[in-house]
């Protein structure tokens, strides 16, 4: 492994290459432009291919075509671009084509500002596209974690034959930190996809086809039942979170991504002031780490503070669901490009204390 002082977007791109990604198609949009810019050169150095599509729609469908042949493939964008890619993402999910989708989120409402925010939570976790499916969603809080999770996302995608969605934001994508980059994967060591990839000949001499569609209602139901079984497996085996200073905590602060990072700083400050605060930071948003909230001692915890860069709150709804509304949920919010500050969380907790 090597250490580099690197920008978040570039760490995402380099981690993808090292994970074995050999195809990228995308279209420029701030604040993720460093990803395609980096890959436009880097992929050719390792024998891969980069295409700047004529649109987001074209780009995601190129990813579908290449990923269906078994090649590790990725696309990236920000919220407005992901909206345009929605039909292609639904086809990737319906056809069970492994792929990685990166969203370096920006502020809303609607196409909003190019500045960082977390206003794509509902889009990523509840409705990435039509059809009632789910993407596996990862939420990095640091540049190091962005590299690590993108690297692992390709393995998760192959394991479950599913698109994996990495929900970053403009803060993580554009800050620079020292990162220990993962090792370069040998393509020959990657899992075989011969049992499903489309460029594999069947015994009758015809090439396979792959589709998110079935001509019968029964066939569509079987596809949905298979997906539901996969989602249940995620819930049982793939929930991930960080718990920090929770053993004796009386107040819980929770947030994902950049807000989770800021929330951890607030917990440290609160502890320094003698207030028993703890942190729960989801790393997977789908599956949602409800087990982390099930483990809370509700006889000791007094309140839960939800930090997120979104107005109205979005992540808070899942916290309320996971806690079964046993405690009051207090939101600490910013949006539209206003970065959440440690002091805002500290002050909110101290006011209630």
CA–CA distance, 121 with 246 (Å, rounded to integer): 25
User: Per the structure block, which two tokens stand in for 139?
Assistant: 């939420």
| pLDDT tens for the 353 residues of the chain, in order | 678 999 999 999 999 999 999 999 999 999 999 999 999 999 999 999 999 999 999 999 999 999 999 999 999 999 999 999 999 999 999 999 999 999 999 998 988 889 999 999 999 999 999 999 999 999 999 999 999 999 999 999 999 999 999 999 999 999 999 999 999 999 999 999 988 999 866 777 777 889 999 999 999 999 999 999 999 999 999 999 999 999 999 999 999 999 999 999 999 999 999 999 999 999 999 999 999 999 999 999 999 999 999 999 999 999 999 999 899 999 999 998 999 999 999 999 999 99
In the Cβ-directed half-sphere of 204, how many Cα atoms lie within 13 Å?
3
Name the residue ranges covered by the structural domains of the chain: 2-199+224-236, 241-352
For strand 284-286 and strand 136-138, is the pairing parallel, antiparallel, or unpaired?
antiparallel
Selecting from 1.10.357.10, 3.30.360.10, 3.40.50.300, 3.40.50.970, what CATH number does the domain 2-199+224-236 have? Answer: 3.40.50.970
Give the pLDDT score at 209: 84
Q: How far apart are CA 68 and CA 53, in angstroms?
A: 18
CA distances from 235 to 20, 212, 230, 239 (A): 27, 23, 9, 6
What is the pLDDT at residue 179?
97
Q: What is the pLDDT of residue 2?
A: 76
pLDDT in tens, 124-152: 999 999 999 999 999 999 999 999 999 99
Longest Cα separation, the chain: 72
Q: Does 2-199+224-236 match 241-352 in CATH topology?
A: yes
- CATH for 241-352 is 3.40.50.920
In three-state secondary structure terms, 149 is helix
Whole-angstrom distance, CA of residue 6 vs CA of residue 4: 6
- DSSP bridge pairs for 104: 168
By CB atoms closer than 10 A (0-12, 13-18, 19+), residue 57 is middle
């Amino acid at each position: 492994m090597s250490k580099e002082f690197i920008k978040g977007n570039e760490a995402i791109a380099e981690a993808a290459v090292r994970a074995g990604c050999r195809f990228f198609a995308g279209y420029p949009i701030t604040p993720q432009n460093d990803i395609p810019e980096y890959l436009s050169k880097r992929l050719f150095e390792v024998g891969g291919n980069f295409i700047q599509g004529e649109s987001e729609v074209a780009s995601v469908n190129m990813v579908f075509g290449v990923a269906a042949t078994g090649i590790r493939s990725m696309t990236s964008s920000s919220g407005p671009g992901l909206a345009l890619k929605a039909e292609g993402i639904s086809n990737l999910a319906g056809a069970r084509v492994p792929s990685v989708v990166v969203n370096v989120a920006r502020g809303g409402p609607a196409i909003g500002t190019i500045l960082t925010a977390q206003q794509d939570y509902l889009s990523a976790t509840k409705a990435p596209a039509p059809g009632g499916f789910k993407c596996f969603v990862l939420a990095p809080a640091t540049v190091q974690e962005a590299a690590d999770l993108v690297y692992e996302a390709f393995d998760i995608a192959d394991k479950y034959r599913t698109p994996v969605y990495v929900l970053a934001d403009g803060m993580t994508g554009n800050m620079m930190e020292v990162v220990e980059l993962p090792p370069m994967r040998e393509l020959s060591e990657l899992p075989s996809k011969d049992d499903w990839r489309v460029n594999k000949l069947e015994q009758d001499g015809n090439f396979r086809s792959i589709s998110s569609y079935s001509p019968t209602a029964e066939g569509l139901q079987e596809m949905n039942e298979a997906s539901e079984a996969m989602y249940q497996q995620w819930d049982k085996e793939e929930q991930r979170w960080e718990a920090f200073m929770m053993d004796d905590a009386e107040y819980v602060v929770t947030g994902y991504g950049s807000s989770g990072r800021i929330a951890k700083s607030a917990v440290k400050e609160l502890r320094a002031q003698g207030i028993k605060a703890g942190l729960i930071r989801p790393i997977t948003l789908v599956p949602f780490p409800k087990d982390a909230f099930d483990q809370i001692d509700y006889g000791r915890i007094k309140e839960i503070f939800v930090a997120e860069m979104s107005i109205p709150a979005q992540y808070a709804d899942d916290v309320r669901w996971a806690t079964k509304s046993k405690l009051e949920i207090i939101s600490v919010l910013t949006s539209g490009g206003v970065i959440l500050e440690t002091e805002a969380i500290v002050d909110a907790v101290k006011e209630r204390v």
